[in-house]
Structure 1
Amino acid sequence: MLLEGKNAIVYGAAGQVGSALVTAFAGHGAKVHLVGRTRSALDAVADRVVADGGHAETAVVDALDEAAVDEHADAVAAGSGSIDISVNVIDVADVQGTPLAEMSLQDFEQPIRIATRSTFLTTRAAARHMIRQRSGVILTFGGDGGGEPIRDYWIGGFQVALVAVDFLRRQLAAELGGYGIRVLGLHTGGIVEGLPDNLPERETITEMIVGKTMLKRAATFADVGNAAVFAASDLAASMTATSLNITCGAVTD
């Protein structure tokens, strides 16, 4: 039980990555606070956690709403005694498949605005309590950590959003480290497990992701959950301002 007694907030908890994180955190003893915008979807994940003997609470919160995010974090800290882990994996609703030269400004800006705003708001809300505690772990998610452009597919503003969040992670680590707060990223290089079977580009995207790996497979949702548990646990107590490379060898570092 690597996370026994810890309180974790997962924003976007009903999504594929979010539910994997919730399951992993709860499986290692954390009380998980599931946050999202759809009550029924959150409750379905929480019910599975509870059925397996875990602890979970749900809250409908828009991660782009400053007041709502702050209010929820304050309630978690007051009701549970601490915020020990915070991770934001909400859907950035990006538009892909259109060349940048033909993309509208709105479509380009959308993932950048959502990713940076939600990461900033959720991190700030948790950090205020973690500073008081002088401990805590903040996790970011996404990207491959390589900083290379995508050459074989039009990805819009998505990669720009991930790079922006990645630098925000580094800056947060620098500013929060003195309070005992660690900030780490989880980089997968893409998870093909979650691609819809009827997606026309599924085969192309799968080959693009898997073809770059050394292990000849992509990371799974279970891989993400396992890496997140390690990152949030005391086993990684000396790690901050870095990313965990779970790209299956697509990125060498």
Structure 2
Amino acid sequence: MTDVPALFSLQNQVAIVTGAGKGIGRACALAFAQAGADVALAARTQSDLDAVAERIRAMGRRAITVVCDVNDEAALDELVRRTLTELGKISLLVNNAGGAGPNDPLRMRPHEFVNVLSRNVMPAYALIQKVAGPMREAGGGAVVNISSTAARYAQKHFSAYGAAKAALNQVTRNLAQDLAPHVRINAIEPGTIMTDALAPHLTPERKANMLRLTPLGELGQPEDIAAAAVFLASPAARWITGKILGVDGGAETTTWC
């Protein structure tokens, strides 16, 4: 008989979560800890990390905090080194750092466009490269990249961010081929999620339009993405790699109006 709770357990696993201080990253870190993992938390702000670490330790799990600019490769090396030294291994990775707002394609300079591509793709690629060896040594591992529905929607003012997340999706697919069978790599495309990053743009009119265009009739919460990340990281997803999972309330077109 299948042990369903064990299929979704992350007991005895060690995860790195980037962008772990707020929003989706924080929700993923807390969910992984609830599922049994110890967590290395990486973000730019120590106070945010400390708050998440305190909650994880209250669950009886280990947590370390690493103030880290994921665009600095030396900082990523230090993140990996500290995780191995202080938590003993690396078996899970959530690449959540990144992001960008809307852009005007007639005003955004080419170097600004390249910067959006770089900060959404390079850190994920670099960290996967750095943890692949430790994951093999740990007996295998799983990576979850946080992408966006912007990767597949055609919409105004998202040429930079949409291109960056589409690139991240393709990196996910191709690295999954490269690193199988020891490392599984999948991505999640969040739809409209209620985070601090969204709040400044969420006028009453825009929120009403988003709700109207979302078949499930409500906006997502960071915990919705965290639940999907736990699934993709867990033994329940042992035969899934190179896939992009939309967690978007059923929206098949942009809700950004």
Give the TM bin, normalised by the shorter chain. Answer: 0.7 to 0.9
Contact 1:188 1:245 in 2 (8 A): yes
Query: Which residue number corresponds to residue 174 of structure 1?
Result: 177
Partner of 2:106, secondary structure, is helix
Deviation (angstroms), 1:207? 4.5
Contact 2:15 2:91 in 1 (8 A): yes
TM-aligned CA distance change 1:106 to 1:183, over 3 Å:
same
TM-aligned CA distance change 1:38 to 1:146, over 3 Å:
closer
Deviation (angstroms), 1:222? 1.1
Partner of 1:102, secondary structure, is coil
Superposed CA offset, 1:29-59 (max 9, x none)? 1001101222122111111222343321111
Superposed CA offset, 1:185-220 (max 9, x none)? 1112221354565x3553454345433322122321
**Structure 1, unaligned runs of 5 or more:** none
Query: Which residue number corresponds to residue 194 of structure 2?
Result: 192
Q: Which amino acid aligns with 1:81?
A: G
Determine which of 12, 22, 25 is the counterpart of 1:5: 12
Q: Does 1:122 align with 2:124?
A: no
Q: Which amino acid aligns with 1:147?
A: R
For residues 240 and 65 of structure 1, the distance between their equivalents in structure 2, rounded to whole angstroms, comes to 28
For residues 55 and 114 of structure 1, the distance between their equivalents in structure 2, rounded to whole angstroms, comes to 29
Q: Does 1:19 align with 2:26?
A: yes
For residues 226 and 57 of structure 2, the distance between their equivalents in structure 1, rounded to whole angstroms, comes to 17
Query: Which residue number corresponds to residue 35 of structure 1?
Result: 42
Contact 1:137 1:232 in 2 (8 A): yes
For residues 95 and 145 of structure 1, the distance between their equivalents in structure 2, rounded to whole angstroms, comes to 11
For residues 208 and 63 of structure 1, the distance between their equivalents in structure 2, rounded to whole angstroms, comes to 34
Query: Which residue number corresponds to residue 164 of structure 1?
Result: 167
Query: Which residue number corresponds to residue 231 of structure 1?
Result: 232
Contact 1:195 1:202 in 2 (8 A): no
TM-score using structure 1 length? 0.88
Count, aligned residues: 246
Q: Identity of aligned pairs, percent?
A: 28
TM-score using structure 2 length? 0.86
Deviation (angstroms), 1:95? 4.1
**Structure 2, unaligned runs of 5 or more:** 1-5
Task: Tell me whether 80-89 or 199-208 shows the greater mean CA deviation.
Answer: 199-208
